[in-house]
Structure 1
Amino acid sequence: MKIGQLAQQTGTPVDTIRYYEREGLLPRAARTEGNYRIYDAMHLERLAFIRRCRSLDMTQDEIRVLLRFRDTPSESCEDVNALLDAHIGHVAERIRELQQLETQLQVLRACCKEGRQAVACGILNELSQGATEVSTPSASESHLSATHAGGRQHVTPRKQATRDS
């Protein structure tokens, strides 16, 4: 099948399929004489596996590890269990961070109970006041936007990091 067919069958954008090939998650496809990529059932199955991992918010590094184990089925899956346990820990930490963010936003929202001129908006005034008082990100803010030792990419509260599909 051609890349468009693979994209349609898996619900994956063509650019993402090419990206997964470049990153080594998906093996390079054979080419026709006209230089079109030709994919087979193995590509379809592997791409579906990658997509399932991505739907669970796994990083590319985590997916690479899982693919290595999938490609060597006779090995022990202890490391797979450990990887998933670590991923669950990352998710739990992110939930805690997002709950803290929600609380901060609720406190901020309480600063302005009714519509008025922007100059008198409690939210805008609070955000402006906080901007002059804080010259460096708070501990929670820098933690939200940083990648820590485990290789997890955290989503910043202001702008979600672009992630492949």
Structure 2
Amino acid sequence: MKIGKIAKQTGIPVDTIRYYEKMGLLHAPLRNSNGYRSYNNSHLERLRFIRRCRSLDMSQDEIRQLIHLSETQEADCSEVDALVAHHLQHVRERLQELAQLEQTLVQLQTACASGKAIRECGILAGLHTDLELQDIEAGSHVPGIHGANQDKH
């Protein structure tokens, strides 16, 4: 099947499928004589697996490890369990960070004095002086993401 069809069946954009190929998460498909990629059911299954992992906010490295482990059918599944346990801990830490972020935003919002001029805005004053906000990683809305170079696909 062509890339457009597999994209439609999986709900994954064409560019993301190509990206997964480039990153080694998906084996490159064979090409027809006209140069078009020709995907099969194993590609479809792999893309569905990747999509499910991404829906659980797993990183590319975690997905790559799970793919590798799934290809070793006789291996002990304790490594899979350990990977999921580690990811769960990461999610719990992020939830704590989000709760702290929520508290900071609530504090900023309570500093607002509606109906006043911008120069008197408590939120903007808080953003200029609030040291807690300096802890947020540059380029990230939420600290604790998988890494600065983590894909958004």
TM over 0.5, shorter chain? yes
Residue 152 of structure 2 aligns with which residue? Answer: 163
Partner residue in 2 for 1:46: 46
**SS of alignment partner, residue 153 of structure 1:** coil
Aligned to 1:153: 147
Q: What is the TM-score when the length of structure 2 is the normalising length? A: 0.88
Give, in whole Å, the separation in 2 of the partners of 1:62 and 1:30.
26
What is the deviation of 1:124? 1.2
Q: Give unpaired runs (5+ residues) of structure 1.
A: 155-160
- CA shift for structure 1 position 127: 1.7
Q: Which structure 1 residue ranges, 4+ long, deviate > 3 Å from structure 2?
A: 142-147
Q: Deviations over 1:33-73 (max 9, x none)?
A: 11000000000001000000000000000001100111121
For residue 90 of structure 1, give the secondary structure of its aligned residue in structure 2. helix
Q: Does 1:12 align with 2:6?
A: no
Q: Cα RMSD (Å) of the superposition?
A: 2.2
Spell out, residue by residue over 1:3-40, the C-alpha distance to the aligned partner (whole angstroms, 9 max, x if none). Answer: 00000000000000000001110000000111000000
In structure 1, what residue type is equivalent to 2:136?
E
Provide the residue aligned with 2:122 in structure 1.
Answer: 122
SS of corresponding position for 1:12: coil
- Displacement of 1:114: 1.8
1:141 to 101, 124, 136: 136
Cα offset, 1:141, TM superposition: 2.2
Query: Which secondary structure state, in structure 2, belongs to the residue aligned with residue 99 of structure 1?
Result: helix
Once the two structures are superposed, residues 55-102 of structure 1 have per-residue CA deviations (whole angstroms, 9 ceiling, x without a partner) of: 000000000110011112111111000000000000000000010010
Counterpart in 2 of 1:25? 25
Matches within 5 A, 1:104-119: 104-119=104-119
Q: Identify the residue that residue 90 of structure 2 maps to in structure 1.
A: 90
Identical amino acids, percent of aligned pairs: 47
* 162 and 113 in structure 1: CA distance in 2 versus 1, 3 angstrom threshold: farther
What amino acid does structure 2 have at the position aligned with 1:55?
Answer: S
Using the size of structure 1 for normalisation, the TM-score is 0.82
> Letter of the aligned partner of 1:35 in structure 2?
G
Structure 2 spans left out of the alignment, 5+ residues: none
Count of aligned pairs between the two proteins:
149
